[in-house]
Amino acid sequence: MVNKKLINEWIEKAEEDFGFASSIIEESAYYAQICFHFQQAAEKYLKTYIVAYELEFRKSHELVELLGICKAKDQTFASIEEECNYLNRFYIDTRYPVHWPVSYSKEDALKAKIAVKKIADTVFSLISEIIK
Does 118 reside within a domain?
Answer: no
Assign residue 84 the CATH number of its domain: 1.20.120.330
The tens digit of pLDDT for each residue in 77-127 reads 999 999 999 999 888 655 566 655 578 899 999 999 999 999 999 999 999
Report the alpha-carbon distance of residue 12 to residue 81 in Å, rounded.
23
Question: Does the residue 128 lie in any domain?
Answer: no
Task: Give the range of the structural domain holding residue 59, as residue numbers without chain letter.
Answer: 4-93
Domain contains 14: yes
Structural domain includes residue 104 = no
What's the domain count of the chain?
1
- What pLDDT score does 96 carry? 63
Note the pLDDT of residue 94.
54
- What was the pLDDT predicted at 60? 79
Angle at 111 between CA 52 and CA 121, to 5 degrees: 25
Q: Give just the sign of the alpha carbon dihedral 129, 71, 80, 54.
A: positive
